Structure 1
C-alpha cells in the first residue's frame, strides 16, 4: 500500500525507470519536478527521438504515395521504416525486456512492442512506425501534463526562503536558514517571507498568511504570538525569536505531509492497480483467440487479416489511462486542498471525506476561539490582592487556555515573591499547589467536590465557566470566565449539513451548561459536557458504534489526540492546534476555520467525480474501439487514440481540479 505512484518518462527516453506496474508512466512521485522549468530547446533535446522518426515517416509516406522512385524497393522500404522505427521503438522494447527479466510480462511496453513488430511482419511498415511514434508523442505530452500538475503543487508549497537575517553581536548578517538555531533572533523586512517559525518580538505587525493558511485577508499579530515560516511581513521591520529548525518548520512539514500523502492510496486506486494486473493478461489471451479461433469457423480465413485485428486489440487494451489518471486525480485533489489551507495526508482520507455522515466536534479551540477572558471575580472573606497573587503564582506555568486567561487577569499582581511547591494538574478538574504556606486549589466544581470544599451555593454557571479558588480548604474566590464562538462556526455546521452530513455532536470538558449554550447557539444535534479526556474517547466510540457511515472528529488539543486516532477521519485545527493533535490527524485545517471542513468535503466529492469520469471515459472508449477492432472496423490509428489519446484526455481532466474555486 505504501508505494509511490510512478510518473517518469520511461517510454519516452531510453533510460529505464521503475515500471513494475505495467504502465509506461512510471517513476517516483518526487522525481522529475525540475523538468517543469525546461525551456523549449531543452525539451526538444530531451525528446529528439520522436522528431527524427516523424521526419523519416513523412519522407517515406511521400516516397510511397507520390514519387514512387524505382530505387525505393521493398528491401529499401523495410530498411527505411526500420530506421524510422528505432528512435521511438528501442526505448519501449528495452523497457519491455527489463520488465520481462523481472518477471513482469504483461506491461504496456510488451503490448506496444508486439503490436508494432507484428505490423512490420505483415508488411504494414508505416503503420508500425506511426503507432510507436504517436504512442511516444502522446506519452511525452501526458508526462508534461503530469509534471506540470505536480510542479504547480510543489511550487505552491515549497516557498521556503533561502536566506535569513541572523543577529550576531548586535548586527544582522545574511545566512542560510539551516544555519539558524532555536533561540536565535532573526530580522524580517517588509515584503519578505518569514524563513523559520518563531515568536514575534516586535509589538505588532500584519502578515499575508495565504500561502500557509489560505486566508485572503492579512492577519494582525501581536508581540509574543507565534508566527509561521512562509508568512509575508507586510508592515514594518520586525524581529523574531526562532522556535524551530529549518528541517522542522511549518513549510517543511506541510511539504512533507503533501508528498507523503501520495503513499496512502484510496480503495479505488488499489482496485484499479489490481484490476490492471488481471485485465492485461486476459486481453492478451483474447487477442490470441481472436487471431486463431476464426480458423475453425471462417471459410476464407486470412492469417494476416486476423493477425492485424489482434494487433489492434492489443494496442487498445493498454490500461495506462486508468493507472495514471486516477492517482493523478487524487493528487490533484490533495493539491487543491493545500491551496485552500487544508492538508489531507492521503488519497484514502480524501476518498473517505466524501462520505462523512457524522461529525463530532471538540468545543474549545475548534468551534470557539479558545481565547478565554475573566469577566468577573468575587472574593469571599479574603483580600483580593492576596488572592490575585495566589492565582498568578499557581497558574503561571500552565499552558491551558483558562490558565492563560487567569494570569492575564492577575498580571498586575503576579505574586513573584511567592514560593510555589508541589504543584500538580488534575486533568478535567484543575490545579493544586502549595503557595508559600497555603494550600491552593483552582478548578471547577468537580475539583471542589473531590477535595470536600463547601461552595456555599456558588456552584452553577449559566452562560459562562465558573472557576473556584480555595485556600487552605475554604472557598475563597470565584472567577467567571467565558469563551467566544468563532465567526464561521454556525455557517460551518449549516454547510456540512448541506453537503450530506446527517448528524453533529459536540464533546467538551466544560460545564454542561456552557457546552449546552454553545451547542444551542450553533444548532448542534447533541452535546456532551463535563467530559474527562478518557470520557471523550469512550463517548466517541459509543457514537461511532451507534451510527452507521463514516465518522469524523474535529479537535485541536493534546487531549484530543486519542479521539482523533479512533475516528474514521481525524481533523485537526492546525494553526493553533497542538503538535500531538496535528500529528495524529488525517486532515489538518491550517486556518482554524471550521468552515474549511465543508471545503474539504466539496473537494473530496469533486475529486471522486473526476476519478469516475476518467474511469468511464477510459473503459467506454476502449470498449467501443475493442469491439470495432474485433470485427475489423478499427485500424491501428484508432487503437492509438483509444490508448494514448484517452490517457491524455483523462490526465487533463484530472488536473483541472486544481483550478477550481471551492469557497
Structure 2
C-alpha cells in the first residue's frame, strides 16, 4: 500500500514514541522501524526533543498530529489550506474520520503549523495522546460552544424583554447582542480569509449580520447568529457520532503489555513490543499486538474486528489479531506484528486511505462548491444594486433580500452531502466485518451486476482433505504418500497442505525432497529416495496416461473431487483425490445475490468435472481449468458486458481483481490479495457480500437524497427570497437546517440493518 499507516511514514514501519501527555506543548508522533539495525537507525532515525518529534525521510520531514474541533469535511479542507500556506510545507493532508493531520516539509516548521491551525480555531494534540485525553479536550471545546449559545440566547431574551417596554432601547440591546455574537465569528472569518478560505460560512454570516444591522433588522441579525451557532453545534454532534466507530476501534488496544523475559514479568508500553516477544494476557484483557498462541488453546472474542459475535477457539500456533478479547483463561502468546503494523493499525490505515480515495461524485461536488459560492455572492450583489439603480426600488428591501440570498450561498450542506453518507457507509461496513477502501469502491459496489468467484478458499473453505489414494505398478500407499509429501512440503497451496497433513496423520515420517521446483501451470517435482518425483494435474498428462488410469480419474472427478497424479521417474505410481467443503453460507449468499439481480460465475483452475459438480450444487455458471491469465481474460470479457466484481483469496487471483470493476478479498487470503483488493471480508462469511452490496446501494441512494435536500432547499429559498417571502432567519435554516438534515440522513446508514 502506498499511503502511510496512522503511525507509519512512507519510509518505515513505525511506532508511537512514548510521550508525556501532560506536557503543555503539542508534539507529533515519532516513528521508528522495529527491525532496523543500528546502522539503519543512524541514517533514518527519529529526531526528538521534549516538545517535538519528527521523522526524516527521502521526501523531507514528516509530521503527524491529531486535530480536534472539526465539525465537517469543510473544516478539514480549511486546515489543509492553512497548513499548506506555511513556508516550507510541501504537502498537508487531513483525514476527517480519524482526525489526523499529516504534513511533509523540507524544514522543521512544527511550531508554525501549530500556530496556523490554532489560528483558525482548531486544536492539535500528539498522536501519542490517549483517546480519553482527546475526548476530554473535545468535550471542553463543545462546552465553550455551549456557553456561547446559551449566553447569546440569554442576551436575546433580555433584549426582547427590554423591547417590550422601550422599542428604541430594545433595538439598541439587539445591536449589542448581535455585536457580542459577531466577535468570535468575525475572528474566525478573518483567520479563514488569511489562511486562503475567503468564502467560508463565517464570512458570509458576518457580512449578512452587519448588513442586517445596517438596515435596522437588529432582532433578525441576532437570531441569525443564534441559529448559526445551533447549526454548528448540530454539525459537531453529528461529526462526533460518525467518528465514534473509529474512536472505538482506536481504543481497542491497551496502553501496556505484560511481557515475560527470562521468567520475569514486567509491564511495558505496547510501542516497545517487538516480534518474538513473549507476552501474557489474562481473561477480560485485549491483545496488544498480533500474536501467535503458545498455550494449548483459548477462546477469543473477535467481534470488534470481524463482526462475529461468538467467541472463536484458537489452538497452539494459531494467530490471533490485536484487539481481540481473551475470554476464558490466562495464556501466553508470541508477538508477530511490528509496532504500528498490527490488525488495528492496518484497519485504521484502510480507513484513512478510504477517505483519500474519494468518490467521483464527491470530487465533482467539491469543485462545484468552489464556483457555486462566488456565483451566489455575485448574484447577491446584483440583487442589491440592480433593482434600486435600474428600477428605483427601495434600497432597504433589496439590501435585505440580497443579504438573505448571501446566506444561501454557503455550500456546507452540499459539500458534506456525499462524504457524510460515504463515511457513514464505510463505518457501517466495518461494523459488519467488511473493509471497503474508499468512496469510489463503495459507489462502484452498488453498480455491480456480476460477481466472479474463485473456488478454493472463496466458495469453499479452502481446506481440502484427502479422500482417496490409488496406487499403480506395485507402489505402496505409504511410499506414495511419503514421496508426494516430500515435494509438497513448504508449499502454501491448499492441496499441498492437505497432502502433507494427511501423510502426517497416517504416521508417516516426512522428509524434504531435494532439487524441488514448481512447474508453472503443471505441478511440482523434486528428488526423493533416489527417484525423480513429480506431481501433476491429470489434464497435463492426457497423452501419457493409460486408459484405465484416465477412467479412474474421470470417476473421481465426477464425484466433485480434485485429482493429482504422482509419477516416479516419469511413470505413474498413483492418484491422490481431494475434496473441499463448501462454505456453510455459500448457497444462501448466492441465492440472495440473485435476488438482488446479481449474476454469479465461478472461475477456477480446477478440472471441469470437479468444478461442474460444485457449480451444479450452487446453481451458478462456471469456467474451469483456468490459469491466472485466463481468469483475467474472463473477467475482462464479463466487465465489457456489465460491471463485474472479482472475489478471491490467493496471489493468483490478484490480476483478475485488478482487471475487475472492484476486487474483493476474503479475510483469510494472502497479504497480496488483501492489499490489491478494493474491499475485504474480515469474517470470511460470503453472506457479507450481500450486506456490502445492499449497504452500497443504500449509500448511493442516501447520497442522491442528500444532494436533493441540499440543492432543493437552496433552490426553494432562492426563489422565495427574491419574491420577498422569506427572511434572514429562514435563510439560515436553509443552510444550517439543510446541513443538519443531510448529516442526520447520512447517520441512518449506521443503524441500517441489512
The two structures have a TM-score, normalised by structure 2, of: 0.79
Give the counterpart of 2:144 among 38, 45, 48. 45
Q: How does 1:610-629 map to 2 (within 5 A)?
A: 610-629=702-721
Q: How does 1:184-195 map to 2 (within 5 A)?
A: 184-195=277-288
- Per the TM alignment, residue 487 of structure 1 is displaced from its structure 2 partner at its CA by 0.6
The CA distance in 2 between the partners of 1:419 and 1:232, in whole Å, is 39
Q: Determine which structure has greater relative contact order: mean sequence separation of CA pairs < 8 Å that are 6+ residues apart, divided by chain length.
A: 1
Q: Which position in structure 2 is the counterpart of 1:600?
A: 692
The CA distance in 2 between the partners of 1:439 and 1:130, in whole Å, is 89
Bigger CA drift: 88-97 or 428-437?
88-97
The CA distance in 2 between the partners of 1:269 and 1:206, in whole Å, is 43
CA contact (8 A) 1:7 1:146 kept: no
Secondary structure class of the residue paired with 1:257: helix
The two structures have a TM-score, normalised by structure 1, of: 0.90
CA contact (8 A) 2:606 2:624 kept: yes
- Per the TM alignment, residue 346 of structure 1 is displaced from its structure 2 partner at its CA by 0.1
- Per the TM alignment, residue 350 of structure 1 is displaced from its structure 2 partner at its CA by 0.6
The CA distance in 2 between the partners of 1:657 and 1:259, in whole Å, is 19
Matched, 1:530 2:622: no
Bigger CA drift: 51-60 or 395-404?
51-60
- Per the TM alignment, residue 98 of structure 1 is displaced from its structure 2 partner at its CA by 1.9
Q: Which position in structure 2 is the counterpart of 1:496?
A: 593
Matched, 1:354 2:446: yes
Q: Deviations over 1:504-551 (max 9, x none)?
A: 211111111111111111111x21111122222222222222x13x21
Secondary structure class of the residue paired with 1:305: helix
Bigger CA drift: 531-540 or 173-182?
173-182
- Per the TM alignment, residue 118 of structure 1 is displaced from its structure 2 partner at its CA by 1.0
Matched, 1:183 2:282: no
Q: Deviations over 1:122-170 (max 9, x none)?
A: 1223322331232123112212221222133331454123232323113
Bigger CA drift: 135-144 or 40-49?
40-49
Q: How does 1:156-167 map to 2 (within 5 A)?
A: 156=249, 158-167=251-260
The CA distance in 2 between the partners of 1:372 and 1:186, in whole Å, is 34
Secondary structure class of the residue paired with 1:374: strand
Q: How does 1:540-555 map to 2 (within 5 A)?
A: 540-545=635-640, 547-548=641-642, 550-555=643-648
The CA distance in 1 between the partners of 2:162 and 2:516, in whole Å, is 95
Where in structure 2 are there 5+ consecutive unaligned residues?
7-66, 83-92, 100-122, 124-130
The alignment yields a C-alpha RMSD, in angstroms, of 2.9
The CA distance in 1 between the partners of 2:700 and 2:170, in whole Å, is 55
The CA distance in 2 between the partners of 1:15 and 1:264, in whole Å, is 15
The CA distance in 2 between the partners of 1:520 and 1:311, in whole Å, is 68
Q: Which position in structure 2 is the counterpart of 1:290?
A: 383
Matched, 1:342 2:434: yes
Q: Kindly tell me: are residues 328 and 89 of structure 1, through their superposed partners in 2, closer, same or farther at Cα, counting changes over 3 Å?
A: same
Q: Kindly tell me: are residues 109 and 137 of structure 1, through their superposed partners in 2, closer, same or farther at Cα, counting changes over 3 Å?
A: same
Secondary structure class of the residue paired with 1:356: coil
CA contact (8 A) 1:333 1:607 kept: yes
Q: Deviations over 1:391-420 (max 9, x none)?
A: 222222111111111111111577758562
The CA distance in 2 between the partners of 1:493 and 1:419, in whole Å, is 41
Q: Kindly tell me: are residues 264 and 184 of structure 1, through their superposed partners in 2, closer, same or farther at Cα, counting changes over 3 Å?
A: same
Where in structure 1 are there 5+ consecutive unaligned residues?
none
Q: Kindly tell me: are residues 15 and 592 of structure 1, through their superposed partners in 2, closer, same or farther at Cα, counting changes over 3 Å?
A: closer
The CA distance in 1 between the partners of 2:464 and 2:689, in whole Å, is 24
Q: How does 1:56-95 map to 2 (within 5 A)?
A: 56-67=155-166, 72=169, 80-81=176-177, 83-95=179-191
- Per the TM alignment, residue 582 of structure 1 is displaced from its structure 2 partner at its CA by 0.2
The CA distance in 2 between the partners of 1:612 and 1:446, in whole Å, is 52
Q: Deviations over 1:569-626 (max 9, x none)?
A: 100001x110000000000000111111110011111112222222122222222222
Secondary structure class of the residue paired with 2:663: strand
Secondary structure class of the residue paired with 1:553: strand
Secondary structure class of the residue paired with 1:410: helix
The CA distance in 1 between the partners of 2:567 and 2:203, in whole Å, is 81
Give the counterpart of 1:378 among 462, 470, 477. 470
Q: Kindly tell me: are residues 304 and 385 of structure 1, through their superposed partners in 2, closer, same or farther at Cα, counting changes over 3 Å?
A: same
Secondary structure class of the residue paired with 1:248: coil
- Per the TM alignment, residue 204 of structure 1 is displaced from its structure 2 partner at its CA by 2.9
Bigger CA drift: 78-87 or 343-352?
78-87
Q: Which position in structure 2 is the counterpart of 1:55?
A: 154
Secondary structure class of the residue paired with 1:106: coil
Secondary structure class of the residue paired with 1:365: helix
Bigger CA drift: 390-399 or 168-177?
168-177
Q: Which position in structure 1 is the counterpart of 2:395?
A: 303
Q: How does 1:175-574 map to 2 (within 5 A)?
A: 175-295=268-388, 298=391, 301-380=393-472, 381-411=474-504, 418=511, 420-448=513-541, 452=544, 456-458=548-550, 459-460=553-554, 461-462=557-558, 463-501=560-598, 503-524=599-620, 526-545=621-640, 547-548=641-642, 550-574=643-667
